[in-house]
Amino acid sequence: MNNFTKELVDKFANDLLIELTGEENKMVLDEFDIIKENMEKINELEDIKNIEPMTHPLEFDDVLLRSDEVSDELFTEEVLQNTTHKTIDSIVVPKVVEE
């Protein structure tokens, strides 16, 4: 996948539920060559295949998972204040099951 196209950039964006304007798409295309050139440095390093990928900075030796009990809860009234589409205890969305 060496040649970026407008369509490919749109696909990457659409995968994340985002649409790009023509200008935004062009901006990404214009800088992708530089970004890709920089990212290729990652593949230029030798002898990394046997290194464990690091997903987290700390060892988890001393971390205890909390017990799975209901503790703090969010209050419906407070949660609902962030939407105007609601009933007394629910958020309203369009019908998702088609007839």
CA distance 62 to 84: 44
66-95 residues in contact with another protein (CB under 8 A) are 66, 71-72, 74-75, 78-79, 81-85, 91, 93-94
Which one of 5, 6, 31, 33 is in contact with another protein (CB under 8 A)?
31
Residues at the interface with another protein (CB under 8 A): 1, 9, 12-13, 15-20, 23-24, 27-28, 31, 34-35, 38-39, 41-45, 48-49, 51-58, 62-63, 65-66, 71-72, 74-75, 78-79, 81-85, 91, 93-94, 96
